[in-house]
Amino acid sequence: MAMFGRFVAARVAGLTDTGAFAGRVATGHVAYIGHSFGGAAALQACSLDAHCAGAVDLDGRQYGSVVHAGLGVPLLLLGSEDSCITGSCPIRSAEDRTDRDVARLLPAASAGPTWCYSITGTRHLNFTDDAVLYFAPPVRNLLALGSIDGARGLKIQNA
């Protein structure tokens, strides 16, 4: 668990005022959006950036101080069908229970508006371009792609 926290911290270091984008973006209204570990980094970066106007986590487990501190800006947690990141998931293991409990902390600690949605028929890779790429059935079955039509899933996310 600590390893993942360090990984997210390293990603966040590249996003905030001192990172690679320093001086390159209009910082008046910044929204952080990411998928998987990028989603966790987006949440943490938003919590550290006074210019953050909102954050979106696409199917990424939350890590870092933001989990307990929350956000004061709009927050969207968008998860796959069985994802625990929205605070609601089928509990099949102790890890699922931990993920669900951690996910419930962030919205509870946040002062800004919070939305938590799951998209039926999606799995983890439906939040990437893989959702609309052609993979032969044997390969597709090995990937974390759900039954939803890829283009429809991405259209829902974009909306």
Mean pLDDT of 130-145: 88
In three-state secondary structure terms, 99 is helix
Which of these ranges, 23-27, 99-103, 113-117, has the smallest mean pLDDT?
23-27
Which of these ranges, 45-49, 119-123, 138-142, has the smallest mean pLDDT?
138-142
- Amino acid residing at 105: L
Question: Is it the case that residue 21 has pLDDT exceeding 80?
Answer: no
Q: What local confidence, expressed as pLDDT, does residue 20 receive?
A: 56
Distances (CA, A) of 145 to 36, 53, 108, 124, 136: 14, 31, 30, 7, 13
Q: What percent of the chain has pLDDT over 70?
A: 83
* Structure confidence at residue 43 as a pLDDT band (50, 70, 90): very high
Ramachandran quadrant class, 45 (left: phi over 0; alpha: psi -120 to 50; beta: rest)? alpha
Question: Is it the case that residue 122 has pLDDT exceeding 50?
Answer: yes
Q: Give the whole-angstrom CA distance, residue 15 versus residue 40.
A: 12
Question: Is it the case that residue 120 has pLDDT exceeding 70?
Answer: yes
Structure tokens at 105: 């902390």
The answer to whether the pTM exceeds 0.85 is: no
Mean pLDDT of the chain: 86
Q: What local confidence, expressed as pLDDT, does residue 137 receive?
A: 82
C-beta of residue 46 within 8 angstroms of C-beta of residue 73 = yes
Residue extents of the structural domains in the chain? 2-119, 125-159
Query: Which of 131 and 14 is assigned the larger pLDDT?
Result: 131
Query: Which of 62 and 20 is assigned the larger pLDDT?
Result: 62
Q: What local confidence, expressed as pLDDT, does residue 3 receive?
A: 46
Q: What local confidence, expressed as pLDDT, does residue 155 receive?
A: 92
Mean pLDDT of 3-29: 57
- E strand or H helix at 78: strand 75-80
C-beta of residue 55 within 8 angstroms of C-beta of residue 31 = yes
